[in-house]
Amino acid sequence: MKSFRKNVVRCARQNPGSFLGAVFIIAIGIFVYVAMMDTLKNLGDQVQRYYDASAMADVFAQVSGISEVDLERLKEIPGIEEASGKMAVDVRLFAPSQTEIVTVHLLSYDPSGPLNKLMVKGSGTGKDRIFLGNRMAGIYGYENGTSLTLMINGKSVKCELAGTCYGPEYIYAIPPGGAMIPDGEIYDIACLEKSRMEELTGKKDSMNELGFRLAKGYTYEDVRYQLMDRLSGYGLISLTSRENQASYQMVKGEINELYSMGTVLPFLFMSISVFMLYVVLKKMIDRDQSLIGTMKSFGMRDGELILAYLYQGAEVGVFGALAGSILAVPFGRFMFHMYVDFFNLPDTVYHSYMNTRVSGMGIAVGTGLLAVYLGVRGILKITPAQAMRAKAPSAAGNFRLPHFWAARLGAMEKMGLRSVVRNPFRGFLIILAIAFPFSMSSVLFSFKGVADQMFFDQFSKVQTYDIQISLDRFVSPIRGESAGEGIRGVRKSEAVLQKAVELKHENLSEFAMVYGLNQGSDMWRIMDLYERFYEPPDDGILINSRIAKKLHLKEGDLMEVTVPGLTAEGVKVPVKAVIKESLGGGCYMSAKGFYRFFGSVPMAGTILLKVEKGKLDEVREELLKTSRVTWMVDTGRIIGGYRDIMGSMMAMVQMFSFMAVAAGGVLIYNISMINIRERISELGTFIIMGGTDREIGRILLFEQVVYFILGIVLGVLGSIGVKYLLEHLVISDSYTIDLAIRPSCYGIALLTCLAMTGASLLAQTRFVRKIKLTDILKERE
């Protein structure tokens, strides 16, 4: 047994490229697995610990205002175990050397609050202590004691920075105005002591952001309708479960995508490793058939023979896992810090998890053993008598070419085609080896186009204004537009309406934003995923497909729309169309249609500005002096933020692309070299009969051309499958992608595979030139 195992190892050492290639591909899979799972565990564990420590609520509600006594009475609802609330308001923040309109979501801080507890770090004295969100505090670098000014109800209030604050429902704090990523430079949370907050707002015992903990065994649906009924008298604006709360949903979505990518990509690479090792071991068994039969005749059992080969698979898995685990550490740290840069967490320390590496080792070794077993299970069928004779060649009939091709192909090309047809399994392996990197790289290279589609198109084709501002109160559209156009440097001004509403259909309901837009506008247009444009309707509503799916709505249905503060009961509005959008999840009507359906006087709280070229800084300076503006969105700034985050994401995706290309190169080279070694007798006989290197080169070239064309065709089909898979991995409630594979990416993938195939062909021709005719006499096929 020991001697036979040494012989197996010796044979394996004769083909080091194949085994090193398998180690490399397994290492890639484990590299991706360990890096992503470590990042996932670090993020998931730290987020969950923070949720637990801060007693995050199960249900969230926003109302106009409710007293503490009335809030406490809501615990009478069966299933409500605990209730808690905060005061919250968006206010302007003025600080030294400030060049932007900075808005903070100011919260009341009450250490005795049972749910959604704010965590503060720092110290200070006096009633005007303010704690700033960690992200904003880190960007500006203000020291404790820095004087800050808040603009509340038209009055400026001096405060002293006392430290930083964190809120469980604001881990992912998104600024208003359509942005989908945090921007701590212009928007974050802040908190003041509850009593001081009441003084500044002039609202005593009036909370507007509520949280509820459910009793064990109860769900959101069990308490939903009773809560809506009880809270409607307090100006209910929104009600949602923890799973649909904005920050929780974004964090969970990022973690789920990380988990999906961390399992699917390693699975693809591991599958290729199984495929490659299977081919290597299958060929080794075919070559060692005589030796295996001889060992069986001496009494060696099947299990002992298979165990000797399984040792090789385990060795490949161990080396691949070790290499992948070591290389994964710096990449895992990079990914973790990329995510926490946008997550507002109190403690962010990266840990390397041993159980991730142990599971990675298990996956790698299991992959190696599976591949080897699939390759060597043919041992069970080999008998000593069978091994005494050479393996019978497989039958192959004559392939008759159509006259059109027969007249145009030379003798060498016909020989190459005959070789392709007579060895379908060998050819299929090479075709798969070409199809894999083509499919993976063409899709992964297309991700940059997805980023353009999702983010940059949003502000070049849909929201084409330069600046969006929100006022501290509603004004008439005419007045708002004239005030905007009165700012020096503003070329055009347009007023729009944004209102939080409740949508109902049958027994389902959902809270969403309705946008009252202007027909014929070129500053805010409605465009679906396929770049079709819609006009906001006067006689109905356009609804986002994600909301329509939740409410089981389709075009032509009637739904009830309730606008807090305007309507006491729902108003029936027809659905004019259901549209798929890349970003967001709102509903659209014309401003006139909104006023007509809900009996409202014309009003607007948002102004869109188109700025003259080169005047953007001047306009921003003018707006900075205006106290009526609560927040400002600069589309150039949003695009810059997207570029920052997408730059890191694209670097990660491009790395995966190059990994796929590298794995494909290893695969093509090794499969091709294994197959050329099998043909030593065939090619050597051709040389003995007078064949030249040039003629053999023509045969091999024609074979590779046929394999390459078929591999690309299969790769195009495979890219559609990979595209579908990745589209469903990264979809969320906040965005939808249409992963269109660009022709340029197909072109890059084609050239890459062509280069790898060409390199493989050169290696094959060099191998043929080194064939010694004396070695041919030793071959048994």
Residues 203 and 260 in one domain: no
User: Which of the four pLDDT bands, split at 50, 70 and 90, describes residue 225?
Assistant: confident
Are 306 and 377 contacting, i.e. CB atoms less than 8 angstroms apart?
Answer: yes
Q: What is the mean pLDDT of residues 105-115?
A: 91
Range of the domain at 737: 412-462+636-781
The string of pLDDT tens digits covering residues 67-76 is 999 999 999 9
pLDDT tens per residue across span 250-273:
888 778 777 777 777 777 777 776
Paired strand residues for 629: 471
Q: Between 306 and 62, whose confidence is greater?
A: 62
What tens digit of pLDDT does each residue of 496-543 get?
A: 998 888 899 988 888 888 999 999 998 999 988 788 899 999 999 999
Do both 201 and 255 map to the same domain?
A: no
Measure the CA–CA gap between 272 and 278, rounded to whole angstroms. 10
Residue 403 lies in a domain: no
- Whether 250 and 237 map to the same domain: the answer is no
Question: Last residue of some domain: 202, 221, 242?
Answer: 242
Is 472 a member of any domain? no
Residue 73 lies in a domain: yes
Does residue 617 belong to any structural domain of this protein? no
Counted domains in the chain: 4
Beta bridge partners of 212: 59, 83
Confidence class for position 343, pLDDT limits 50, 70, 90 = confident
Which residue's entry shows tokens 């502000």? 459
Q: How many CB atoms lie within 10 A of CB 113?
A: 18
533 vs 405 pLDDT, higher one: 533
CA distance 596 to 497: 14
Give residue 780's pLDDT: 47
Give the distance between the most distant pair of CA atoms in the chain.
103
Say whether both 516 and 374 belong to one domain. no
**Are 191 and 79 members of one domain?**
yes
Sorting pLDDT into bands at 50, 70 and 90, what band is 60?
A: very high
Does some domain include residue 623? Answer: no
Q: Per-residue pLDDT tens for 170-181?
A: 988 877 655 566
Average pLDDT, stretch 578-590?
A: 83
DSSP 190-222: EEEEHHHHHHHHT-TT-EEEEEEEEPTT--HHH
Residue 451 placed within a domain: yes
**By the 8 A CB rule, do 583 and 455 touch?**
yes
Look at phi and psi of residue 98 and say left if phi exceeds 0, alpha if psi is from -120 to 50, else beta: beta
Assess whether 35 and 133 both reside in one domain: no
Q: How far apart are CA 362 and CA 369, in angstroms?
A: 10
User: Does 438 have pLDDT greater than 60?
Assistant: yes
**Residue 187 pLDDT more than 90?**
no
pTM score above 0.85: no
The residue that leads in pLDDT, 662 or 404, is 662
pLDDT exceeds 80 at position 292: no
> What's the pLDDT score for residue 289?
67
Q: Answer yes or no: is 453 within a domain.
A: yes
Do residues 280 and 383 share a domain? yes
User: Which amino acid belongs to residue 227?
Assistant: L
Helix ranges (H only) for 344-457 are 354-376, 384-387, 403-406, 411-422, 424-445, 447-451
* Residue 774 or residue 752, greater confidence: 752
Q: So what's the pLDDT on residue 781?
A: 42
**CA end-to-end span of the chain, whole Å?**
26
Parallel, antiparallel, or unpaired: how do β-strands 541-544 and 533-534 relate?
Answer: unpaired
- Of 585, 602, 619, which residue is a domain's last? 602
Higher pLDDT, 709 or 685: 709
Q: Is residue 316 situated within a structural domain? A: yes
Q: How many helices (H) and strands (E) does the chain have?
A: 24, 22
Whether pLDDT at 687 is above 70: yes
Query: CA triplet 97, 99, 103: central angle to 5 degrees?
Result: 105
Confirm if 739 and 446 have CB atoms less than 8 A apart: yes
Residues 233, 257 share a domain: no
Which of 106-115, 135-144, 706-715 shows the lowest mean pLDDT across its residues?
135-144
C-alpha dist (Å) from residue 373 to 292, 430, 446, 678? 15, 22, 37, 22
If asked whether residues 535 and 583 sit together in one domain, one would say yes
Domain closes at, from 215, 242, 269: 242
Distance CA 302, CA 382 (A): 10
β-pair partners for 589: 516
On whether both 172 and 196 belong to a single domain, the answer is yes
Region of poorest pLDDT, from 197-211, 578-592, 602-616: 578-592
Average per-residue pLDDT in the chain?
82
Q: What is the mean pLDDT of residues 413-441?
A: 81
pLDDT at position 205, please? 86
Q: Residue 739 to residues 146, 655, 723, 742: CA-CA distances in angstroms? A: 48, 18, 6, 9
Q: Which residues contact 19 (CB under 8 A, 6 or more apart)?
A: 12, 280, 312, 316
Whether residue 237 sits in one domain with residue 270: no
Beta-carbon count within 10 A of 350 CB: 17
- The CB density around residue 586, as the number of other CB atoms within 10 Å, is 18
Asked if 28 and 76 sit in the same domain, the reply is no
Say which residue the tokens 């994964």 belong to.
Answer: 328
Any residues with CB less than 8 A from the CB of 575 and at least 6 apart, and which?
540, 541, 542, 543, 548, 553, 554, 555, 556, 557, 558, 559
Instruction: State the Cα–Cα distance between residues 274 and 369, nearest whole angstrom.
Output: 9
For the packed helices 424-445 and 411-422, what is the interaxial angle rounded to 10 degrees?
90
